[in-house]
Chains A and B, each alone.
Chain A
């Protein structure tokens, strides 16, 4: 079983126009920057992208937006991006906003074989419109459905050749959950090691979820809001 691909370009083979992708990261933290760059170069279009945010104008998913490769975004917060606002207001970009916890749980459900779940989040708000609701123990909950994707693209700190992944600090965020919910999951890592080099007790994503893995070179890891004392 060989999961190793040489680079991002090879990793994204098979991603076609109109597909649904999950892309890990929170803001610019923990985003699969090499795969995003490869998607830009591939010119694949009409994508539905499930990702908490949409990058900034010049980095992260923002570059795909600018190149008009994204048709629809499913996100929780998109306030950092002027291109996004412009395309949304002129109608060329569809947007589905989810509460962040609902987004995370929909992805978790998608990977865990649960088609839907009841949540208290969003009851009585725009989010609840058109959704089934039900009372449990006197409190109202709304039905949310699972999300899955043709491809999930995640970024980890270390990975081994069997696809086991370890994330670093808050760069974990949506990555391990998305890794479970792609028909094909691509993992890009800062360091690819031999099988046996990762402590099994420390693995965050078991290799079963990962179909393709590669080591990216020269990570930029741009900081969105550099704040110091």
Chain B
């Protein structure tokens, strides 16, 4: 069985280490915040100008002046700080963010990422994604292994306009976990009951299988 969305997000959450400053992208990455171990000190950054991002507010306590980068109302934790967009991206570009977790439309076997534009179809803009992938110390992508039409999203080469070149360190899909190691894609973990052959048929990228391939057990 492939991982459920919840299992997939829990697997991604294991990438958060005590003391990390982390930026979570919009969508599925945002949900990672729900699985941070209470024993760990993790500080979430929101690139619109907040360190110490907290949960969504209780109804009635929404504050129009306090939102996350997805424009949702949020709260700030004790010890939080606010700053300008210029300062925020200085923080990002300057390599002060330990980890960013982002969604993707395509990832190449060398770690190129495409997640901001479909020519002729979608005109939204890149927001802060290009800065984040170029500036964060570690970039983890969480995505579905294939598109809605079933075509692979892990490719030899991206077909869509890039967000960043050779910037992705790890990819977590419902089928397994890949790491980009010196420009080569390595399958390091697979979901229980999903074979390497299954994964190969749904992947366009070339990859090697780690000697210490782990199995992610389904939750019962």
Contacts and interface: CB of A to CB of B under 8 A. Distances in A.
B67 A26 contact: yes
Contacts of B128: 76, 99-101
Interface stretch (B43-51, B98-106, B186-194): B43-51
Interface in A199-229: 204, 221-229
Given A76-B126, A99-B130, 19 more contacts: A26-B69, A29-B64, A29-B67, A52-B85, A99-B126, A99-B128, A100-B89, A100-B131, A101-B92, A102-B89, A105-B86, A122-B134, A126-B117, A127-B130, A169-B63, A173-B49, A222-B64, A226-B62, A227-B72
What range describes how many residues of A lie at the interface?
A: 35 or more
Interface of A: 26-30, 52, 75-80, 84-85, 88-89, 95, 97, 99-105, 107-108, 119-127, 157, 167-177, 204, 221-229
Interface of B: 46-50, 55-59, 61-67, 69-74, 76, 82-86, 88-90, 92-93, 112, 117, 123-131, 134-135, 161-165
B93 A125 contact: no
Contacts of B72: 225-227
Nearest to A107: B86
Given A105-B86, A170-B65, A120 B134 contact: yes
B interface majority secondary structure? loop
A223 to B, nearest CB: 5
Contacts of A103: 85
Specify which of B86, B117, B129 lies most central, judged by the most chain A CB atoms within 10 Å of its CB: B86
